[in-house]
Structure 1
Amino acid sequence: MSNTNYLNVYKGANSVQDYFNPDSAPPLPLVEIPDRLNPYRRDGVRIYAKMMTMHPANNVKAMPALNLLEKGVVPGKTKTIIEYSSGSTVISMSLISRVFHGVPDVRAFLSNKTSLAKLRLMQFFGLDITLFGGPSQPEPTDGRGGIRAAKRMADDNESIINPNQYENDDNWKAHVRWTGPQILRQLPEINLICAGTVTGLGMFFKEAKSSVFRLGVCTAPGDRVPGPRSFALLAPVEFPWKSAVDHIEEVGSHDSFSLSLDMCREGIVCGPSSGFNLKGLFQFIEKQKAAGKLGEYAGEDGEIHCVFLCCDLPYQYINEYFDKLGPEYFPSITNEALTRVDLYRYDEAWEKDATTALPLFLEVKRLGTEEEVLSKLPKGVTKGSNLSETISLKDDAVIIDIRQPGDFGEFSLPGSVNLPFVEPLTASPFSDPVVLEALWLKLEEYFRGPHNEVVSLLQGRRILVLCYDGDSSRVATSVLRAKGYEADSLRGGFQGLGDLQVRESRSHYIVANGQRSKQGITVTREVELATPS
C-alpha cells in the first residue's frame, strides 16, 4: 500500500486507474464521530466511521468489485459482465470495468422491487438492467432467481463473466487486501470492528490483531435495509462468515435510516446501511454496559476504540427516508403548494419594456395631429380612449389583455383580446403564493385545451400579454411559452403604458415617456412606430 501520494494527485495515461486503485491513493478517511452522536463517550467508548463512501465509486463495494474483476476478467476474451446486485456492487463494476478493463457492457440483474431512483441511477451509469420477480433478496442457491440466471448465462458463453459476489471469495478477500490493513494502520489501538457480515474484516483481524472483537450486523426478521441481509439469508452463504464474527446484532430499518439521518446532519454523510452498522454497535455496547462487561473490551489506554463502516451515500434513498421516518423528521416547506404550480421556465427576454414591445406589435395606420393622438392615450386612464383610428395591430400579432372587462373597455391597445384572468387590486403573484397558485391553475386549465376560436387566434402569431402591473402577464407568458406559443409580456403592464405619450413626426410616430408642459413634451424615452410605406 503506497504512502507516497499524500497530495492525492493523479497524472498521466493511467490517471483514472490510479485514482480508483487503493494501492496508489491515501487510505480512505477514518473519522471519529462527535460526542453528540456518541451516547457512550463518557463510558470510555470512542467510535470511528470508516468512510468507504470516499472511494471514487462512493460505496463499500468498490474494493470487492476491483478484486473480483481483476481476478475474473480475461483480457481480449471477456466482452460482457453480468451481476445480480441491488445497486452498489454492480455500479462499482460498471465503472471499474471501463476504467481498468475497457469493457463497457455491464449488465445488472436485480429485483423488480428496486426503487425507481436506484434503477435510474444504474441507467445513469450505463448499466443494462434486467428485472426479476420473487424475493428482493433471493437465496444464492435458488434456481428461480436472478443470481442463478446470471451464473447460467456466464456458463453458456465464454465471452460473459459473472463475478458472483455471493459465492466468490475474492469478494470478501478485498477487505483482507485493502480495508483491514488501512484501518489497522490508521488506528493501531482498535478494539472492536463492526461491519455487516464482517467476513473480510473479521478474517483480517483474526490474523493481524486477534484481540479485536468482531461484531456483525443483520437485518431484523421481516424487515429490510438496502444492502444488508437477514440472518436467515446468511445461512446458505458459503463464505467463512461464522468464523469471522464473534457476535451478531439484528437491526431494523427505522433505526438504520434515523441514525443515518443524524450522522448526515452532523457532517458524516452516509446512507442507511451506515446507520444500520452504527445502531448494531450501539445495541452491543448497551448490552455489555448493562451486564457490567463493557470494560472488558478496553485497550491499554483504558478506552474502547470502535470502528464501523460507512457503506454508501444517502442520495439514492431520499424517498425511502421520508417513507420510513415520516414528516416529523424533516423541516416543513413554506409555500409548499408552489411545488405543484408555476412549473414552467421564465426568461428575461420574454419580458419587454413598452418602448421595445410596442413597435413589434403595432404600426401606424394613418397620420394625425399631435393633439389628436395624444388625446387618445391614457393618463391615469382617460375614459373612452381609443387608438384604433391611428394605430393598428400588425397582421402577425395578437395582444391578450387579461384585465377585467370594465378596465379593458375604458382603454385597450388596438386589436386586443380580453381574457379577464386578474382583478385590479389583486396582489402580485410573486408576493402572494395563494394568488400565484390560483392564477397559474386558471391559466393552465384554460390554455391546456382552449376553445377553437382561441387556438385559431393564437396559432402562428406573436403574442403580447398585458395586465395591470406586468407580473400576472409574466406568469401567463410562461404558461403560453410552455404550450408552444411565441409570447411576451409587457414590463410594468398597463401602468407602464400610462406614462407614454405620442407626437407626430413626418414619417413615423414617436411614443415618448415624459410629461407635458406649456412648452410641449419633455422626452425621456422614445420608441418609433413604423408607418406603412
Structure 2
Amino acid sequence: MPARDISQAVGGTPLVGLPSMSPPGYSLYLKLEGHNPTGSVKDRVAAYLIAAAERSGKLHQGSRVLEPTSGNTGIALAAICAPKGYKLTCVLPENTSQERRVLLSLYGVDIVSSPAGEGSNGAVRVAREMAADDPDLYMPFQYGNPANPQAHYETTAPEILRDLPDVGALVAGLGTGGTLTGAGRRFKEHDPQIRIFAAEPEYGDLVYGLRNIDEGFVPPVLDTSVLDGRIKVDSLKALRATRDLATAEGIFAGVSTGAALAVALRVCDPRRLPEGTKIVVVSPDGGFKYLSTGAYAPGDVAGIAEGLSQTLWA
C-alpha cells in the first residue's frame, strides 16, 4: 500500500547483522536509521513532534516553527513542514557540515548560526532566546518534548523486538536522550533483563554531536533510570569503528554510529553481558552528509580525528 505522504513513509528500517565485527560469543546488529526518507533517525522524531503539535492546536496553516538542531532534526522537520505550509527556522552550530546547510536551504529553511564552541548547547540557548522574544514562533524543542521518546517507544523499539525478539542489549548515542529513553522503556517492559547502554563523548569533545551530560545540560526527556551504563568514547575510537564498519561489513555510516558501535564492542565482555547476548546498535544516519568534512579521507586516522575535533556530527 502506498504511503499517503512522506510522514507515512517513516520507519520500517532494516536491522542488519554484523557477522564480521561481532566478537566471539556475541552477536551485533545495526538498526539502519539512515534508510528513513531524509536519511536519519530524526525523521521519526520530526513526524511525532509535528503530529503532536497539530493535535494540541499549537500548529495550523501558516504557522512558524523554530528548532535548535545540529542538522538531522532540522532536515527531518523541513521535510515534514514543507508540504504542510509551515515556515521553519533552524538554529545550527556554525561548524555543522556543509551538506546539511545545503539541504536545509533547499527546503527553504531560514538558518541561524550559534557559536561553534558551545556545541549543540549553544544552539539550544540561542533558540530559547529567539522563542522568548517572538511569541508567534512555535518551538517543538525535541530535548524536552515527550513526543520525542514516544516516537521510539511506539516505532523503533517494536520494530527491533519484531525482528529480534531475544535482543539482550541496546546501545545508542546520547544526544537528546529520545532513543535511549523511548526504546529503553519499551525494552524494559518487554524484558527487564535487557541492558541499555548510552554512548557518551568524553568531556569537552564536540565530535559527532553527542552529549556528555556532565557538561551541564541534561535533556529533560532523558530518563536515566532506564540506563544500565553511560560509557565514554573518544573521537578516534568512533572514527576507527566507522571505518571498520565500511571495510568489514560494507556499511557506510556517520561517525555517531561509530561511537555507538565502539561502545557495543566494549560491552561484549562477560563482566557486562553474558556470552550469547544479541546486541542492537542504533545507527542514526549514513555518512553521505559528512563527505565534505574529510572524515573519510585516506591517511592517518588519528590525525584526521584530531583535525575534526570541532566538527558536529549528529
**TM-score, scaled to structure 1:** 0.51
Alpha-carbon distance, 1:15 to partner:
4.6
- Alignment map for 1:50-199 (pairs within 5 Å): 50-73=31-54, 74=57, 76=60, 79-99=63-83, 102-133=84-115, 135-138=118-121, 145-153=125-133, 156-157=135-136, 160-197=137-174, 198-199=180-181
The 1:274–1:202 alpha-carbon spacing in structure 2 relative to 1, beyond 3 Å, is: same
Match of 2:312 in 1: none
Unmatched 5+ stretches in structure 2: 175-179, 302-314
Query: Structure 2 counterpart of 1:275, which letter?
Result: G
Secondary structure of 2:119's partner? coil
TM superposition shift of 1:326? 6.0
Task: Look up the match of 2:299.
Answer: 327
Distance 2:90 2:48 in 1: 18
What is the match of residue 282 of structure 1?
A: 265
Q: Secondary structure at the match of 1:226?
A: helix
The partner residue of 1:304 within 250, 255, 277 is: 277
Q: Which has the larger radius of gyration?
A: 1
Gapped regions of structure 1 (runs ≥ 5): 330-533
**Which residue of 1 is the match for residue 305 of structure 2?**
none
| Aligned CA distance change for structure 1 residues 256 and 209 (closer, same or farther; 3 Å) | same
Contact 2:6 2:37 in 1 (8 A): no
2:239 touches 2:295 (CA, 8 Å); kept in 1?
A: no
**Change over 3 Å in CA distance of 1:220–1:208 after alignment to 2:** same
CA drift of 1:149 comes to: 2.3
1:356-412 CA distance string (max 9 Å, x none): xxxxxxxxxxxxxxxxxxxxxxxxxxxxxxxxxxxxxxxxxxxxxxxxxxxxxxxxx
Note the C-alpha offset of 1:270.
1.3
Aligned to 1:30: 15
RMSD: 2.3
Shift of 1:212: 0.5
- Identity across matched positions, percent: 24
Q: Secondary structure at the match of 2:118?
A: coil
Offset from partner CA, 1:461-497 (integer Å, 9 cap, x none): xxxxxxxxxxxxxxxxxxxxxxxxxxxxxxxxxxxxx
What is the deviation of 1:216? 0.7
TM-score under structure 2 normalisation? 0.84
Q: What is the distance in 2 between the residues matched to 1:164 and 1:216?
A: 21
Q: Which amino acid counterpart does residue 274 of structure 1 have in structure 2?
A: T
Cα distance per residue 1:253-273 (max 9 Å; x no partner): 122122112223432221111
More helix by proportion, 1 or 2?
2
Answering whether residue 68 of structure 2 is matched by residue 49 of structure 1, we say no
CA contact (8 A) 1:147 1:164 kept: no
CA distance in 2 between partners of 1:49 and 1:234 (Å): 30
Distance 1:236 1:189 in 2: 31
CA contact (8 A) 1:175 1:200 kept: yes
Greater RCO (CA < 8 Å, at least 6 residues apart): 2
Match of 1:18 in 2: 8
Is 1:121–1:316's contact at 8 Å kept on the other side of the alignment? Answer: no
Closer, same or farther in 2 for the Cα pair 1:153/1:64, shift >3 Å? farther
CA contact (8 A) 1:110 1:146 kept: no
Aligned twin of 2:212: 230
Query: Partners of 1:256 and 1:233 in 2: how far apart?
Result: 20
Distance 2:295 2:143 in 1: 30
Q: Choose which of 245, 250, 254 in structure 2 pairs with 1:267.
A: 250
Pick closer, same or farther for the CA change 1:153–1:163 going to 2, 3 Å: farther
One-letter identity of the residue aligned with 1:276: A
> 1:64: how far off?
0.9
3-state SS of the aligned residue for 2:120? coil
Distance 1:210 1:234 in 2: 30
